Structure 1
Amino acid sequence: MENHNTSINLFADQGVEAAKLINPDGKAPIVLICEHASNFIPPFLNDLGLNQEGLVSHAAWDIGAYEMACEVSELLDAPLIAANVSRLVYDCNRAPESGIGIPSKSEVIDVPGNKNLSEAEIDDRVKHVYEPFHKLINQTINNPDRLSLSAQHASPAIITLHSFTPVFFGEVRSVELGILHDKDDRLAKLMMREVKNRTQLKAEFNAPYDVSDNVMHTINKHAQDKNFMNVMIEIKNDLLSNSSDINAIAVDLSTSIYEALANA
């Protein structure tokens, strides 16, 4: 328990905030979420034993996703909840009971600082990263002003924004845009139609990940029970390599989201 208390103090003393809310007064009937926005690792975790290459790799965050999400937020005038802490500290898109929220290896990258953790150390990360992140999402969705705004529209929506690598375990991915859904495919189908009509991107449903990979946790946690329309969007990160490309993708996505919801 001594290590547990020390860790709690370090999280608090170093001012670690798990998440931030951008554009809280946005008027769109949408809540945007970017679970893997940051590669920040609190100093007391000693970079989790990673070298510099690992710290800036896709293992630590979704490269380009935060910048894209911020532009989508501005274009749609929608609030955005973004993670402030690397998914290697705790992946906020994984339920604590799943046992996979703190990876000891990400693709080919070992994460020494995540190995042989005590239950107390795991609990600390859940308490200081996962729980406040999802608390902020819940507060944003259930803000009285937002509930009032959503009630005026037929299709309030929860949308998560991600990026993925062009190559995974040596396999080149041909898909450029993934539109992911679980049981509720309403918004996904509308989004696919808009994307196909408006862009040249190679888009697929439930790619590059299948929902059986536990990638829909945030959406299932916050959207399913409320019957909110929802979708998870994945963009290949080589399409987000500079500000011009990020802006172009953000414009395409924002227009597609807007039109999809207008036709819901």
Structure 2
Amino acid sequence: MTKLLTEAEGSPVAVENSQASSPFLLVCEHASPRLPEKMGTLGLSPAALSSHIAWDPGALAVSELLVKSLDATLIYQRFSRLVYDCNRPPEAQAAMPPVSEVFEIPGNAAISAAERRARTEALYLPFRDELADFIAARKVSGRPPVLVTMHTFTPVYHGRQREVEVGILHDTDKRLADCMLAAAGKTKRYDTRRNEPYGPADGVTHTLIEHGLKNGLLNVMIEIRNDLVSDEIGQKVMADYLTGLLGESLASLSQ
């Protein structure tokens, strides 16, 4: 497999509002369930391919609302994390997972080194480079971005109900997360918690480390329980909530 994507499929990376006036840079690594044509179905059923194992339902919709409310830039991956999870480095098994929750992924069961390399070159490297180039250009212009990665999670995982509604995740830099959690404590609109339902030990902070910590940027990862953003009303309410948290937090840090 020398070239994973066809010309008709276009770039794996999409950028919205690149000339945004605010410093917020939204990143959505799991925006789409789409598989490249050459990958077939990876041996999965249509139900599995539309489920949370293939993408983060609602994450892109909320991100696009935040683009408008914050005048933010958005960069997102146009293909499924089942082919390559862009929130993982190439050496991580989870970058091309053979199993996701209770689902075995036959098309990922025995990937050769050449296939791993083809997926990395087709999906991860363009995504990484787009982010890196955008951040570098903003830093040169004297406007370093504030990195916010956008995710959703399933309400039930391995048969267990998750009570948390919004997770505010961070790695070693918790400046922005601390301010957001303080703001969330005032509103009490959602059950909002630190580093839940995942945290750094789960390997989910790759983008924050690679593009946030290494560049000295304010950064945070947001996880939203996906039943809360399954329709337009829920997406709008959540976007309003996050607009308030992010705006208040950045203002607090700028003082």
Same fold, TM-score > 0.5, yes or no: yes
1:15 CA drift (Å): 3.0
User: Percentage identity across aligned positions?
Assistant: 38
Structure 1 runs (4+) greater than 4 angstroms displaced: none
Q: How does 1:131-150 map to 2 (within 5 A)?
A: 131-144=125-138, 147-148=140-141, 150=143
Q: Do 2:65 and 2:239's aligned partners in 1 also have CA atoms closer than 8 Å? A: yes
Residue 186 of structure 2 aligns to which amino acid in structure 1? N
Cα RMSD, aligned residues only = 1.3
Gaps of 5+ in 1: none
Match of 1:60 in 2: 54
Confirm whether residue 200 of structure 1 aligns to residue 193 of structure 2: no
Residue-pair matches, total: 253
1:88 paired with 2:82, answer: yes
Q: CA deviation at 1:241?
A: 1.2
- One of 102, 105, 113 as aligned partner of 2:96: 102
Q: Alpha-carbon deviation of 1:185?
A: 0.5
Within 5 Å, which residues of 2 pair with 1:66-81?
Answer: 66-81=60-75
CA-CA distance at 1:259 after TM superposition: 0.7
Query: CA offset at residue 14 of structure 1?
Result: 4.2
Q: After superposition, what is the alpha-carbon deviation per residue over 1:112-153, rounded to whole angstroms, capped at 9, x for unaligned?
A: 111111100010000000000111111211225x643526xx
- Contact 1:69-1:80 within 8 A present in 2 as well: yes
Question: Is structure 2 residue 144 aligned with structure 1 residue 160?
Answer: no
Structure 1 letter corresponding to 2:204: V
1:40 deviates by 0.5
For 1:211 and 1:219, the matched residues in 2 are separated by 10
Tell me, yes or no, if the aligned pair for 2:170 and 2:199 is still in contact at 8 Å.
no
- Relative distance call for 1:159 and 1:253 in structure 2 (3 A) is same
Cα drift, residue 25 of structure 1? 0.9
Post-superposition Cα deviations, 1:31-50, rounded to whole Å, max 9, x if no partner, equal: 11010000010111111111
Tell me the equivalent position of 2:27.
33
TM-score normalized with structure 1 length:
0.92
> Residue 113 of structure 2 aligns with which residue?
119
Query: Match for 2:5: what amino acid?
Result: F
TM-score, normalised by the number of residues in structure 2: 0.95
User: Which segments of 5 or more consecutive residues in structure 2 lack a partner in the other structure?
Assistant: none
Q: Which amino acid aligns with 2:200?
A: V
2:142 and 2:74 map into 1 onto residues whose CA distance is 16
- Provide the rounded CA distance (Å) in 2 between the counterparts of 1:198 and 1:137: 32
Q: Could you say what secondary structure the match of 1:48 adopts?
A: coil
Q: Which amino acid aligns with 2:179?
A: L
